[in-house]
Amino acid sequence: MTDLSAFPIASRWPAKHPDRIQLYSFPTPNGVKVSIALEELGLAYEAHAINILENETTTPEFLSLNPNGKIPAIIDPDGPDGAPIGLFESGAILLYLAEKTGKLLPADPALRYETIQWVFFQMASVGPMFGQLGFFYKFAGKDIADKRPLNRYADESRRLVGVMDKRLEGRKWFMGNDFTIADIAHIGWVRGLLGFYEAGDLIGIDNFPNVQAWLNRAMARPAVQAGVTIPARP
């Protein structure tokens, strides 16, 4: 049996199937990237719900795997050269899983880097901006009298959706006919912007039909439908 005792996180969230990839996550826009990828790839994994509402990411056990204290994180018992590996940062995990399986990432070097650049676009711009918009529009920030922060993040989010819409013009997915980790990186955030944050009208989503059509196609995929619910909320 695979031994995960070298990873302190496994003592708090014990593995029932230590030979499988261990996913430590919560169904947030960042968290579902990895569960969607795992479902799309058909890899055997075991999901552990890390309750961010109870600050479980600040526990010593979780911090031992991700010192930044954010979900998602994984342990792959069959990492490079067969040795277990722990990873955090959703973009890095997407790249790792794609390269491990040879799927969801083009083999052609130029197309591979083109895909990676869109993953980085999401990590550097879409996630941070949409997250700030959600805070200032729906959560505690909405009570701040000065609306300049909200307007700033709304304007930038609108611009980013425009960048996505232009990229998707005439394309089924970010990389054309092939569904890749570039799509997976964006699904949870666009879905959250329109659903959880209820900010569609704020950014004028009707002006971006390519993004709406892309999201509908993505949400029709069985692996995506499953992935956005994993792990189940406590």
Judge if 210 and 122 occupy the same domain.
yes
Judge if 179 and 200 occupy the same domain.
yes
Would you say residue 144 lies in a domain? Answer: yes
Interval 97-156: pLDDT, tens = 999 999 999 999 999 999 999 999 999 999 999 999 999 999 989 999 999 999 999 999
What band does 1 get if pLDDT is binned at 50, 70 and 90? low
Alpha-carbon distance of 101 to 181, in angstroms, equals 12
Domain at 69, CATH number: 3.40.30.10
Judge if 50 and 13 occupy the same domain.
yes
Among 88, 103, 118, the domain boundary falls at 103
Q: CB–CB of 71/25 below 8 Å?
A: yes
Q: Where are the beta strands (DSSP E) in 159-224?
A: none
Peptide bond into 234 cis (omega under 30): no
Judge if 96 and 142 occupy the same domain.
no
The number of residues in the chain equals 234
Would you say residue 91 lies in a domain? Answer: yes
Q: How many domains are there within the chain?
A: 2
pLDDT exceeds cutoff 70 at 231: yes
Judge if 145 and 173 occupy the same domain.
yes
Judge if 115 and 207 occupy the same domain.
yes
- The confidence score (pLDDT) of residue 98 equals 98
Q: Token digits for 109?
A: 């070097």
- The confidence score (pLDDT) of residue 233 equals 87
Interval 21-67: pLDDT, tens = 999 999 999 999 999 999 999 999 999 999 999 999 999 999 999 99
Judge if 152 and 89 occupy the same domain.
no
Alpha-carbon distance of 152 to 78, in angstroms, equals 45
Q: Token digits for 22?
A: 């261990």
Among 53, 71, 103, the domain boundary falls at 103
Judge if 155 and 201 occupy the same domain.
yes
Which residue range is the domain that position 83 belongs to? 9-103
- The confidence score (pLDDT) of residue 234 equals 82
Domain at 188, CATH number: 1.20.1050.10
Would you say residue 146 lies in a domain? Answer: yes
Judge if 93 and 118 occupy the same domain.
no
